[in-house]
Structure formats: C-alpha cells, structure tokens
Amino acid sequence: MKRIALLGMPNTGKSTLFNRITGGAARVGNWPGITVELLSGKILLGGDMVEIIDLPGIYDLHGFSDDEQVVRHFLHDNVPDLALVIINATQIERQMSLLLQLKHLNMNLVVLLNMADEAKKYGITIDGKKMSELLGMPIFQLSGKYGTGYPEALQAITKALRYPTPGMAEQLRSQLEQDVHIEAEMARVLKHAVQIPAQLPENLTEKLDRVMLHPWLGLPIFFAIMYLLFQGMFLLGQPLQTGIAGLFTWMREAALAPLLGGLPPAVQGLLLDGIYNGVATVAAFVPLIVLFFLFMAMVEDSGYLSRAAFLMDALMARLGLDGRGFVMLLMGFGCNVPALMGTRVMRSRAMRLLTMLVIPFSLCSARLQVFVFITAALFSPKAAPVVLFSLYLFSFAAAILTALLFKSKFKNSEPFVLELPPYRFPTAYQIVMRGWLEIRHFLRRATKFIIAGVVLVWLLTNLPPSAAPASSGTLAGMIGDFLHPIFAPIGINEQLTIALIFGFVAKEIVIGALAVIYGLSGTALSGALGQQLDWVQAYSFMLFTLIYMPCISAIATLRSESKNLGFTLFTIAWSLTLAWLASFAFYQGARALGY
Amino acid sequence: MPSTTLATLHPGEFATIVAIHAEEALHQRLLALGFRSGKQIELIRKASFSGPLQVRIGTTDILLRRSEAAKITVCQGAART
C-alpha cells in the first residue's frame, strides 16, 4: 500500500485536514503540539487504497525535542511515497524553511497552503502558480476549516503518487550550514511570489488581547471565565443528569423488572442491581460529559489556552514549571491521559517529570461526575456549585504544593518560548465532532472498565451467598473492616472504602459502585447518601477521591511516558499520602471546630 | 543606534535583531520561530509579576521569558518598513 505522510509545523491544521480527508478522529485544538501520537487512516485514492499518517507538528527537521525525533525516525524508517506538507498561509514567510528542508531530502512533495481564508483576511496574497514554478512542486491553497480547495488538491495527490519514489537522502543530519542556503532560497521565493503588508491591520485578536491579557485585568478575567464555566456546567448539567437517571429508573421498573421476573433471584440481582444500576448511574452522566467537552472544545480551539500560559507563566516559573505546564493542567480537566502525553513538547526531562507529577491532581471529567453527584446529594442547590468550584481550587492547590515540595528534585533550565496563535472560533461541525469523539471515548471506557467494575463490586457485596447483601459478612464487608483503621480517621465508612478501591480502576466506577453497594440508583441513591453521611464526611470523601491515585489508564500512561517504574510508583505513593493527609486535616479540623 | 537586549524594550517599541546568544537547542527553536538577525521585532506586551513577553516578528506572535529575551541583542529604534 502506498503511504502518505502529513508534515508541517505545529498548529497548521494538519489534524483538521487529516480528519477531513479520512473522516477520522484526530483530536484538534488551537494549541501547538496537540498531535503527540501517530494516527493513520486509509482512504481510496484513484482506485487504490492509500494510508495517510498524521505526524506531530515540528518546527525544524533538525531539532532535538521528542516530537521532532519521532518525525525524523518515522521518515527514516518508513520512507513515505509522498509527503503532504501543510503550511499555515498566514505565516508562510516563516514556515517555508521547513518545506525547503524537506525539499533537500529529495522527497516526493505536495504542498497545501492551509488557512487560505485567514490569510485573505490579513491581506496576504500568494501567487500559487509562481511559487509552484520557483519551487518545482505542486502547491495548493485551501481551507481545512471550511473545506474549500479540496478536489484539486486530492487530484494532484493522486497524480503525484503514480511517480516512483525517489530514494531518501541519507544526509538527514546535515548541519546548520544548510540553513544559510535555505535562507537565501527562501528570500528569493518570497520576494517573487508573496506580498505581505508591512503592518498588519489591527484585527479582532489584538482587540480581544488588549482586554484578555491586560496587566491587571488578565488574571481576574481568567478566573472569572473558569468560575462561569464550572458554574454553567453544574447548573445546566445537574438537572440533565437527574432527569436521565429518573428515566433509567423508570425503564427498570416499567420494562426490565417485569421482563426478568422469571429468572432466579441471584441472576436477577446481578443483572438489575449489579450491571443495570451501576451502568445506568454512570451513563446518566453522558450529557454532562458532552456539555463539559463542548465547553472544553470551545476554550481549546479558541486559542485562549496559550493566553492562559502567558498569564500564569510567572507563577509557574516559581514552581519550577512553565506556562505550558499550566495549560497541561487545564487540559487535564478533560482527561489526564492526553495531558500527560502533551508533556512531550518539553525537552528538559526534569521539567517533564515534574509536570507529570502534578497533572494527576487535575480534576478530570471522571472525577467531576463523582463530585456533581455527591454535591447535589449533600449540599443545597445554592451551595453545590460553590463546593464544586472549591474542589477545583483544591486541585490547583495540590498541584502547586507538590511542585513546591519537589521542584528542587527536578531542577531545570528549560527555556519558555511559545507561539501565540490568533483567536479562532470553532465551527459548529468541529464542536459537534469533538462532542461525539468524547461520547465514543466514554462508551469505550464504559464497556471496558465500568461493566467489569460493577460486576466485581456486586460479587464482592453478595458473596458468600450466606451473608446478607452488603453486610459486614460479605467479602466487601471484610475488606472494609480490614481497612477501617486507615479510613475511619478521615471519616470514610466501609461502603465508601469499597467504592474508592474500585475508583482506582476508573473514577467513573465510584458512583456506579455506590449504586451497586447500596442497591439503589439515581435519586434514591442520593437520598440514601444524604441520610447516611453528613457534609464533613462527604467533603472528606471528595477530597480523597480528588487527590488519590489517578485511574489505571493514567498510571499506564505515566509509566510509558516516563519510562521509569520508580517514578510511577512514587507518583502513586505520593498521591495516596497527600490524599490521606488532606482528608485527615480537613475532617479532624472540621470536627474540632464543632461541625 | 543604541544596542540593547529584547528584554529592555517597552511595549509598542520596534527594534531590529542584531544577534542571538543562546545555546544550540534554544537557538534552533528561535530560528524556526523566525528570530534571525536583521529581522524587525515588536514588543507587544509584558506579563505582570515579571512574566513573559509577547513579541511579534512578521505575522507570528511569540511568547518568551525575560531571561530568554535577554539573550537576544537588538538595535532599537529601527525604521518601520
């Protein structure tokens, strides 16, 4: 099969194009370096199946960061039949150096000048034909966002693939001397084919930045945006979740219970109290998760994350981290796994490890489900959103404390140089795509972990058969009793202990496990929790859930990204210690104050 | 014309890059982002609490710390082209 590689600098729209061409599912965001793994898709081109690979964006073919090495090794080991070079047309004077570096490797190239729509707004005109002549390669202008200019480009790609591949030159590591040559060639082509106005017209980005990056208003605005987002999520998402949970309960009573009535009680219990209650309780959170990722997609795609890096770098520098680390923490609000992988853009290993040490404290969307459920059950509708926001603050506090304590162990002098993209407003298509991807991801997790988790919880709370379900005579009761001395001082009872143990697999299971342990779902479960726990216990439980070890996927990612078992084990041990200490301090402190 | 570093510029000021005194890896990254001697650079803004700078070279906006900016010698007051 012929192979096409997508190449270009970070944030040029490679992944958007990849998705357009293959109908695939690469994650897209307005943040340089979002593609950290290789994605491939197959399409039919001119009668043949062709494989397309989306490579991480690189600034320089001769660079030293992990992503640049990934690309170089890939090109070295899997010489593609065609390299599709994506260039951000608004930054053509700068991005052409990469194109010329590639040209020197004698690769078969087709060039796509992406973001033609944006370039037009900037008043940049590019004579594609002239440039094509000067460079001796096919060049097309298109817009990945709006999908214009595709048919011509695809046709050229099909044609280019028919030519035999010229061998890839071995002089990959040819030094900086070449850059002098590249510079001269760049100047020649730019002079003849491109016109850029000397002063860019003031655009929306600049007007927005004057407010968003204001020396004094910038940070308050940032926190206000965060607060409004979380507030909005809770106010919109919580009623949705309650409504759907009610629907699931109704379905069980109206349809499933009569249908399964003929089965033996044990099987009925496993199916209804085990799998159905557990999965339905978790599934009721799907709309909240979709809503959350729609918000996240808007923030990520808008380019505001780079602004957050600008605003927070001064603080992060004092913690031994940098603005990018802060953005990873924000991305971790979605899921810790891609945030951990995103640290690949850091070149200093010490800083990368320190960032990976703090990311798991980021309150991910799985933990959000647990907190929405418990705050809604234990706190008044007015207090609940504030309680939820306080947990986000604790999430930052845990990260800051950890960085402060360990920064001397991970000393580094990593430079902080980052491109600031203009604000871009995602199209409805992009937002919907992103929401759909997250539902798929969630459903995949659901089938993989959650069903197995809730079945296991059901077995633990129902075996041996002689004991009453969920009593101290069951396996779960025994484990709870055994761990009681550790969890009693932080106000966490046996039932919650079992839920925490399973939360280690995936945090979504915590609520599913509680549903199974109590044999209740939806509103009935929140009612039972509200009766059994007071707010101090509930908050202590949430603090522990927030801080203690990340889920199994995050740990596997930590292990594979750090390539260091000792570091991974240390991360787990530290998070457990910190979780226990924080809950202990809170629980005993609140009790001492008379709550 | 006086020669200073990028770190000493004030927001809204233009300058021309004279030289970059950075170690190999940073030098490469700066080159790739468009920092070359002879290029005109504008300081857009400085973050508070001694945070990073936002600079503009051509159509690209770049964030960098003051410590990195101090490694870039510029010649201030360059004519707008």
In sequence order, the 6+-apart residues with CB closer than 8 A to the CB of A134 are A188, A189, A192, A193
pLDDT value, residue A65: 66
Q: Are A281 and A522 in contact (CB under 8 A)?
A: yes
- What's the rounded Cα separation, in Å, for the pair A558 and A257? 43
Confirm or reject contact between A94 and chain B (CB < 8 A): yes
Is 60 exceeded by the pLDDT of residue B78? no
In angstroms, rounded to a whole number, what is the distance separating the alpha carbons of residues A296 and A515?
29
**How many structural domains comprise chain B?**
1
Domain contains B66: yes
- CA separation, residue A435 to residues A230, A397, A526 (Å): 17, 29, 28
- Interface contact A315, partner B, CB < 8 A: yes
Can you tell me whether residue A441 is helix, strand or coil?
helix
Q: Cα-flanking dihedrals φ and ψ of residue A340, to 5°?
A: -65, -40
- The answer to whether the CB atoms of B52 and A306 lie below 8 A apart is no
Instruction: Give the count of domains, chain A.
Output: 2
pLDDT at A169: 43
Query: Strand, helix or coil at A50?
Result: strand
Residue A418 with chain B: CB contacts under 8 Å: 62-64
Same domain, A309 and A406: yes
CA separation (Å) from A241 to A123, A385, A484? Answer: 48, 15, 32
If you write DSSP's letter for every residue of A462-528 in order, what string do you get? H-STTSPTTSTTSHHHHHHHHHHHHHGGGT--HHHHHHHHHHTT-TTHHHHHHHHHHT--HHHHHHH
Task: State the sign of the Cα–Cα–Cα–Cα dihedral B30, B31, B32, B35.
Answer: positive
Q: Does residue A586 form part of some domain?
A: yes
The whole-number pLDDT of residue B45 equals 94
Shared domain for A296 and A410, answered yes or no, is: yes
CA–centroid distance for A239 within its chain? 25
Residue A295 CB contacts under 8 Å (≥ 6 apart), including other chains: A229, A232, A233
Cβ–Cβ below 8 Å for B47 and A418: no
Is A372 in the same domain as A489? yes
Say whether both A177 and A235 belong to one domain. no
Q: What local confidence, expressed as pLDDT, does residue A38 receive?
A: 72
Question: Which of A161, A195, A229 is the C-terminal boundary of a domain?
Answer: A195
- Smallest Cβ distance to B51: which of A98, A198, A313? A313
B81 belongs to a structural domain: no
Nearest to B52 among A90, A216, A323 (CB): A323
Between CA A587 and CA A580 the distance in angstroms is 10
- Determine contact, residues A241/A372, Cβ cutoff 8 Å: yes
Residue A587's pLDDT is what? 96
CB pairs under 8 A between A and B: 117
pTM: 0.80
Interface of B with A (CB under 8 A): 22, 25-26, 28-34, 36, 44-52, 54, 57-65, 67-68, 80-81
Give the tens place of pLDDT for each residue, B52-64.
999 999 888 999 9
**Are A8 and A50 contained in the same domain?**
yes
CATH code for the domain of A43: 3.40.50.300
Whether residue A417 and residue B34 make contact (CB cut-off 8 A), yes or no, is no
Report the alpha-carbon distance of residue A90 to residue A175 in Å, rounded.
28
Range of the domain at B67: 3-76
Q: Both A180 and A224 in a single domain? A: no
Residue A210, CA distances (Å) to A207, A226, B44, B47 in order? 5, 19, 10, 12
Same domain? For A383 and A519 the reply is yes
CATH number for the domain spanning B9: value is 2.30.30.90
**Which two three-digit tokens encode residue A451?**
């069903």
- Interface check for A414 against chain B (CB to CB < 8 A): the answer is no
B56 forms bridges with which residues in the sheet? B42, B61
Q: Check A416 against B36: CB less than 8 A apart.
A: no
Per-residue tokens: A115: 């973001």
Residues 6+ positions from A595 with CB-CB distance below 8 Å: A534, A535, A536
Residue A201 lies in a domain: no
Same domain, A138 and A54: yes
User: Are the Cβ atoms of A419 and B62 closer than 8 angstroms?
Assistant: yes
The answer to whether residue A317 neighbours chain B at the CB level (below 8 Å) is yes
3-state SS assignment for residue A395: helix
- Name the closest residue on chain A to residue B40, using Cα atoms: A198
- In this structure, is residue B58 part of a structural domain? yes
Chain A residues lying within 8 Å of B67, measured CB to CB? 415
Q: Which residues of B touch A421 (CB under 8 A)?
A: 61
CB neighbourhood size of A405 (10 A): 12
Residue B59 inside a domain? The answer is yes
Residue type at position A259: L
Contact B29 A420 (CB under 8 A): no
Q: Cα separation of B4 and B73, whole Å?
A: 6
Q: What is the pLDDT along chain A (595 residues), one digit of tens a residue?
A: 888 889 999 888 888 888 888 876 666 666 666 665 677 788 888 788 888 888 888 888 776 666 777 777 777 777 788 889 999 999 888 898 889 888 887 778 899 999 888 888 888 899 989 999 999 899 999 888 888 888 888 888 888 887 655 544 444 444 434 555 666 777 788 888 887 665 556 678 888 999 999 988 999 999 898 888 878 888 888 888 888 888 888 888 888 888 888 888 888 888 888 888 888 877 888 888 888 888 888 888 888 989 999 999 999 999 999 999 999 999 888 889 888 988 887 888 999 999 999 999 999 988 998 999 899 889 998 898 899 999 999 999 999 999 999 999 999 888 899 999 888 888 888 788 877 887 787 778 777 777 888 888 888 888 888 777 777 788 888 888 899 999 999 999 888 998 898 888 888 888 888 888 888 877 888 888 888 899 999 999 999 999 998 888 899 889 988 989 999 999 999 999 999 999 999 999 999 998 8
> Is A569 domain-assigned?
yes
| A213 within domain boundaries | no
Q: Which domain holds residue A553?
A: 220-592
The yes/no answer to whether this complex scores an ipTM above 0.95 is no
Question: Is the domain of A47 the same as that of A185?
Answer: yes
Strands A109-114 and A139-141: parallel
| Per-window interface: A 150-189 vs B, CB < 8 A | 179, 183
